[in-house]
Structure 1
Amino acid sequence: MDGFLICFSIICFLLAVLASFILFFVNKEQVFCNRLIGLVILLFGLQNLISFLVFSGLMIKIPHIYRVLGPTTLLILPLSYIYVRAVLKSETSFRKSDWILLIPSVLYAVNLAPVYFLPYEDKLILVRNYLANPRLQGQFNEGILPPYVLLFIRTIWSTVFLIMLFNSLRQFKKNVDNKILEINKDLLQWLTNFSYVLLALVSVFIIHAIIAPIFKLDTKIGDYTLVFAVFILTSILFAKPRVLYGLYLPTSELKFITDYDPKIDNTSEKNTEVVGIHVLDKQKYLKKILENQEYKEAIEQFFRANLPFLNPNYSLDNLVDDLKIPKHTLSSFINQEYGMGFRKFLNSKRVEYLLENYKKPEWKNHTLEAIANESGFKNRSTFILNFREFTQKKPLEYFKDKA
């Protein structure tokens, strides 16, 4: 099973790095929230990297990183709570009191100072003992603290913020209108899934903290839980581009905004409430909505007039040149507005075109593969895969029903 953990750990680390990179740098809206969740995912991923180094034995090659990331484990749940709070209240920066949450991590780093400043030879011996006795890992002193003490402190600390996180979600769902919940359902579903993954993770560590001192358990159960948590979270993010590329309400779903009176001070909390989420600058928010509408109209009009998808080699770079919209902005917008990447968006247009025109007289004697080629698909397999995804039926089955 160590081999599975080694491979899975490095895969999840790479997934976490990729997701974090996108959250940090791709979308320029909701920067604070994006970077918070990006940091949480990255911290999870770094723990996966440590698991990889431990169980592959590579830690012996770089003993100086032993326990370096220890203090960050006390930041994950507080940052997760701040992230959920910031999303639900549209906060754009930390609160002044949030710095207090750093204190336990700083104290833990001070506690580990004796470990950090060990001579290379002594640290190498410590790491060898650690790797050679997996069932004794929990009994090793965490710097100044006695064995298992940190395990309990970290578990209690994480549980407190997990409770606060769930309470924030509960209060939000309780206090807002059902229409607002419906508009924000994708976002709230992600926050709910995120919360339950954290709940499962903390639950495992609570059980482990209770029984580890009794049965002298090793840390593998925590490592397995952590890699699965990272895999689930990154999978959800990659499956939900609207979340991955920024917490975003599609313009097609923004049918209303609370009454806006320019005579009223638009910095007041009451006047800056938009579809249930507080926005610090309503005029800026409205400007963003108008920009998104312009992008969507430009894309839809260009595709209707020019049918660029009929070119099997048409690319995002081509669309950037045609519309004169920056590549970063265009790619991010398509992911947000249509809930899919550019390539899938292009293939969806090809399927739509085929379905609208398959009865054209000039296609009467064409094979299905030839019609697919006329619609812009390069090969049969790509056509069948995308056709089935968008119609829920195989091509032959679909056209047989239409006959």
Structure 2
Amino acid sequence: MFLDFLYVTSVFFSIVTALVIWFRINKVHNFSAHLIATYLFLNAICFGFYFVILYGAINYFPVLYKMPAPISYLIPPISYIYVRSVLYNENRFRKRDLLHLIPFLFFVANYFSFYTMDLEEKRIIVSRVAENIENVYTVRDGLLPEWVNIMARASQSLIYLFFQWWLLIGFFKRNKENVSKQYRLVKKWLFDFTKLQTLYLISLVCLYVVIFFMVIASVSAEDFMVQFTRVILAVSYLLISGYLLWNPNILIGLPTLLITDANSPTEPQELLLLNIFTDFNTQVQQQKLFLDSSITLSLLAMKTDTSARRISEMISASNYANFNDYINHLRVAHSEKLIQKKYLEKHSIEALGKVCGFHSKNAFYRAFRKEYDCTPKEYSARKSLQGL
């Protein structure tokens, strides 16, 4: 029951995070954001299908059986391309990325005979699986034995994980001198994401090995070994699925890296963006656009006649973690000016936060403490003492 709770929670977090990115956060259609949302959603489908079989619901939808099997071959390449797109600020697939579809298409062809099978025949196979979930690994549903699918999935996952680490380590070795706040945030996220994937895939491969020897090779294994492997698998997947929800700065920022090319004969991209940002920042402050509590990246883009993507790039190059970090910085700076003008002598802290564009008192407190390492009330008292 505890394991089931972990699995269900993980699937729920994955779906919620994916939907939040697609319909609330990624309104500017950032390529890497689409990839991480797709990664989470496909993981939820494949992971959640386990319960559809375990609790016999597959009997009502026999046509869906084996649908997630080929889909699982899309998850490792999507993860790899996501990391690559963040590192190199890519906004589309490369032509050679079509090669990543080969395993997926191969196993679609492998199960094609099952997909086109008569519905009554499918019901017979599915009912056997629903009665005993171990039949998932023994019943031959495609052209190849099921153990081939298991071993291929494990091998593909490990290969992509290796190249993902290779990509990350190589990139950050070549770019050691960039120490901006945004750079450190993205670096931490990508390494944490890959570390959690490593734990998840190692536990998944171990589970596959145990299943292979228990079910296919008919070798007995300790129940403790099976349960321990499943717990590690569930916990690692829970951490992957919930990481962005627990770290909203990353979720809201959906960051990309901007690296200056020292060998470029033209003006470095980051320096150019900083110059543009100076004028943009002046416009935002003069018009006090940050005081609008409903301001979003797309709305700010429209009011300043600047593309949302360019605003994101400028903010990233300007040492802010993300759009919210930038807007909150301006709001807190404005609140500090009002405190200096004795605003709190006649108004509440909640009123101060509201007039500065914050939705709630708690949000105002968090942003203010981040800037000044104290509450607005403490800051006001400190300034009052200094004025005596």
Q: TM-score, normalised by structure 1?
A: 0.71
Between the two proteins, the alignment pairs up a number of residues equal to 366
**Given that residues 12 and 48 in structure 1 are in contact (C-alpha distance below 8 angstroms), is that contact kept between their aligned partners in structure 2?**
no
- 1:351-366 maps to which residues of 2 (within 5 A)? 351-360=332-341, 364=345, 366=347
Partner Cα separation in structure 2 for residue 375 and residue 115 of structure 1: 61
**Given that residues 253 and 322 in structure 2 are in contact (C-alpha distance below 8 angstroms), is that contact kept between their aligned partners in structure 1?**
no
Distance 1:197 1:243, change over 3 A: farther
Partner Cα separation in structure 2 for residue 377 and residue 23 of structure 1: 18
- 1:328-367 maps to which residues of 2 (within 5 A)? 328-329=308-309, 332=312, 336=316, 338-342=320-324, 345-360=326-341, 364=345, 366-367=347-348
State the Cα distance separating 1:301 from its structure 2 match. 1.7
**Given that residues 17 and 40 in structure 2 are in contact (C-alpha distance below 8 angstroms), is that contact kept between their aligned partners in structure 1?**
no
- 1:251-266 maps to which residues of 2 (within 5 A)? 257-261=261-265
**Given that residues 17 and 45 in structure 1 are in contact (C-alpha distance below 8 angstroms), is that contact kept between their aligned partners in structure 2?**
no
Amino acid in the other structure paired with 1:9: V
State the Cα distance separating 1:142 from its structure 2 match. 4.5
Where does the alignment leave 5 or more consecutive residues of structure 2 unmatched?
216-225
**Given that residues 113 and 142 in structure 2 are in contact (C-alpha distance below 8 angstroms), is that contact kept between their aligned partners in structure 1?**
yes
Q: Which residue does the alignment assign to 2:256?
A: 247
User: Is 1:148 paired with 2:147?
Assistant: yes
Q: Which moved more, 1:302-311 or 1:67-76?
A: 302-311
Partner Cα separation in structure 2 for residue 362 and residue 128 of structure 1: 71
Partner Cα separation in structure 2 for residue 240 and residue 361 of structure 1: 35
Amino acid in the other structure paired with 2:207: H
**Given that residues 10 and 48 in structure 1 are in contact (C-alpha distance below 8 angstroms), is that contact kept between their aligned partners in structure 2?**
no
Partner Cα separation in structure 2 for residue 368 and residue 18 of structure 1: 31
**Given that residues 291 and 356 in structure 2 are in contact (C-alpha distance below 8 angstroms), is that contact kept between their aligned partners in structure 1?**
yes
Q: Which residue does the alignment assign to 2:21?
A: 19
**Given that residues 11 and 48 in structure 2 are in contact (C-alpha distance below 8 angstroms), is that contact kept between their aligned partners in structure 1?**
yes
Q: Which residue does the alignment assign to 2:219?
A: none
Q: Which residue does the alignment assign to 2:75?
A: 76
Partner Cα separation in structure 1 for residue 309 and residue 178 of structure 2: 27
- 1:3-402 maps to which residues of 2 (within 5 A)? 5-6=7-8, 8-19=10-21, 26-27=28-29, 31=31, 36-37=35-36, 39-51=38-50, 53-54=52-53, 57-84=56-83, 93-94=93-94, 96=96, 99-174=98-173, 176-180=174-178, 184-216=183-215, 224=234, 227-228=237-238, 230-232=240-242, 234-235=244-245, 238-240=248-250, 244=254, 247-249=256-258, 257-261=261-265, 286=269, 290=272, 293-294=275-276, 296-309=277-290, 315-316=295-296, 319=300, 322-325=303-306, 328-329=308-309, 332=312, 336=316, 338-342=320-324, 345-360=326-341, 364=345, 366-369=347-350, 371-372=352-353, 375=356, 380-402=361-383
**Given that residues 21 and 33 in structure 2 are in contact (C-alpha distance below 8 angstroms), is that contact kept between their aligned partners in structure 1?**
no
State the Cα distance separating 1:398 from its structure 2 match. 4.1
Distance 1:77 1:157, change over 3 A: same
Partner Cα separation in structure 2 for residue 361 and residue 229 of structure 1: 46
Distance 1:400 1:142, change over 3 A: farther
**Given that residues 148 and 213 in structure 1 are in contact (C-alpha distance below 8 angstroms), is that contact kept between their aligned partners in structure 2?**
yes
What RMSD in Å do the two structures reach over aligned CA positions?
4.2
Partner Cα separation in structure 1 for residue 351 and residue 33 of structure 2: 45
Partner Cα separation in structure 1 for residue 380 and residue 369 of structure 2: 12
1:247 aligns to what SS in structure 2?
A: coil
Partner Cα separation in structure 2 for residue 86 and residue 377 of structure 1: 33
Task: Give per-residue Cα distances to partners, 1:145-192, cap 9 Å, x unaligned.
Answer: 334332122212322232232233333344x25214778444333332
Partner Cα separation in structure 2 for residue 78 and residue 7 of structure 1: 25
Partner Cα separation in structure 2 for residue 351 and residue 181 of structure 1: 24
Amino acid in the other structure paired with 2:321: G
Where does the alignment leave 5 or more consecutive residues of structure 1 unmatched?
263-273, 276-285
Distance 1:214 1:171, change over 3 A: same
